[in-house]
Amino acid sequence: MFIASLMTIVPFSGWAQNPRDHAITGKLMFDQGVSCENVKVELEVAEMQPIESVYADPMCTFRFVQPMQGAYLVHVDVDGYQEIHQRVDSTDAEGYAVIQMIPAPGRISRKPQHTQAAVDVSEIMDQYPKKAVDLYNKGLDNHKKGKNEQAIKQLQEALKIAPNFYQVHNTLGILYRDADRFDDAEEQFVQAHQINAHNPEPLVNLSSLYLEENKPERAAEVSENAVLENSRSAPALFNWGIALYKLSKFDKAEEVLKRALDVAPKMAQVHLALANVYLKLRRYDSLLDQLNAFLDLNPNAPEREQVEKLRNQVLKAKSDGTI
C-alpha cells in the first residue's frame, strides 16, 4: 500500500495580517445625520461576488485586509440611499475609498440617530490626538523601511498619548510578534479586540500567533470567534482550518477550509491546506485536485517544486495501483 508522508506544503504559522498589507480602508460619507451602526460593507471581486464583509465602526470607517493585489468593488446598500458598487485598487500601498452616500427618493430611509457631518479624508483619525497619529504614521513608515525597533518605540509613545488607539495596538502586536515577543504581542492583540470587537483582524492575528507558538487549541477557539464576528473572513476561516488540522480534526478542517474557498476561491494557500487534509485522509483524487488548483493559480510559486514532487508521487502510486 502506498503511504505518503505528510509534506509541509502550507505555512502552518497561519494567516497573519500585516499593517498596510494590500489593505483597503475607507469611509462612508453621509449628507445627513445617520448612524453607521449595523451598516455592512462588502468587498467584491466582481459585482454580486463578495469575498469578505465588515461592519463600519462608529466613525463610519471600514477596513479590509486582502492577500492579493488587484481591483475590487466596495458594495454598500443602505436603506434610503443609492446602492454603491465603487471600484478600489489594492496595491503595495493601502487602497482607500471615500464613498459618498447619495439619498435615493422612494427608498426606505434609515432613522437618523446622530449627526455625522462630512469629514475630510485627512480627518479620519481626528478621534485621536494629532501627535499620536503622527507617531503612528512614522512607526508605519519605519516598519516599511525595516526599522522595527524604532517603529516599536514610536508606537509605544503613541499609546502613552492615546491608550485606546486601535490601529496602534494591532500594529504594535504585529511588530512584537515579528520580534518574537509573543507575550507582548498577545497583550496588544487582545487590547485591540477589546477596543474594536466587531473587527476580526486582531483575532486573526492572535490566532496566527497561537499557531506560531504551536497552541492549536487556543488558535481554534480564537479563530472560531473571529468567524463568528465575520463569517466571510477568509483569513479567519483559513486559520481555523489550520488549527483543526493540527488537532487532527481532519473532517472538520475540510469543512472549514472549503468555506474559506467559497469566500475566496483564488486564495492559494487554502488549496495547499486542503491538500494536506486530503493527504491525511488518503483521499488522493481530492488531493490531486487541490494541488493542480494551486499550481494553476501560482505557476511561479516558491512551493512549486515541492508541490509537483508530491503530485508526481501520488500519480505514480495511482498508476502502479498501490493506492
pLDDT tens-place string over residues 251-274: 999 999 999 999 888 888 899 999
pLDDT tens-place string over residues 73-117: 899 988 878 888 888 876 544 667 788 787 765 544 444 433 333
Tell me, what's the pLDDT at 239? 94
Tell me, what's the pLDDT at 251? 97
Distance, CA of 16 to CA of 13 (rounded, Å)? 8
Cross-strand pairs, 106: none
Q: Which amino acid is at 227?
A: V
Please identify every stretch of the chain with a pLDDT value under 50, giving residue numbers as ranges: 1-8, 20, 67, 92-93, 107-123
Tell me, what's the pLDDT at 18? 58
Pairing of strands 49-55, 84-90: unpaired
Tell me, what's the pLDDT at 33? 59
The CA-based dihedral angle spanning residues 47, 254, 242, 194, taken in that order and rounded to the nearest 10 degrees: 60
Distance, CA of 184 to CA of 203 (rounded, Å)? 15
Tell me, what's the pLDDT at 247? 97
DSSP 203-234: HHHHHHHHHHTT-HHHHHHHHHHHHHH-TT-H
Tell me, what's the pLDDT at 26? 83
Tell me, what's the pLDDT at 16? 60
